[in-house]
Amino acid sequence: MNKTKRIFIFLCSLIFLASCKPKIDIEYIKSTGWSYSDGYRVTDYFTFDKSGYYSIRNDTLFVDNKPRAIIIRLDRKFYNLTIRSLDGKKTGNYMDDEEMIQ
């Protein structure tokens, strides 16, 4: 197999894997409050009320309309939300209080 064909296969595979990224249920995240658990901290607690102080656009968490973190994982089974700092160096976890109590 020549080099050009290998590069083409590699790029197609990379594009395919990137498109397989699991969707994060943003509506679920917005529907509840989140308490800091460990790691990178944006705040101790956040919820998405009508004030708009905390908001989500695509996969980015905004505080007072300033980007603060990227949402990278939602584990509804364990009521856990994982975020990453904007520089990509730190991760943090928040717990869904409502679901965990029920």
Per-residue b or e along 48-73, where b marks 16 or more CB atoms closer than 10 Å to that residue's CB: beeeeebeeeeeebbeeeeebbbbee
At 50, is the pLDDT very low, low, confident or very high (cuts 50, 70, 90)? confident
Higher local confidence (pLDDT), 63 or 7: 63
* 70-75-79-80 Cα dihedral, nearest 10 degrees: -40
pTM for this model (two decimals): 0.74
High-pLDDT (> 70) share of the chain, %: 83
| Among 61, 55, 102, 97, CA closest to 79 | 97
Domain ranges of the chain: 22-101
Higher local confidence (pLDDT), 99 or 78: 78
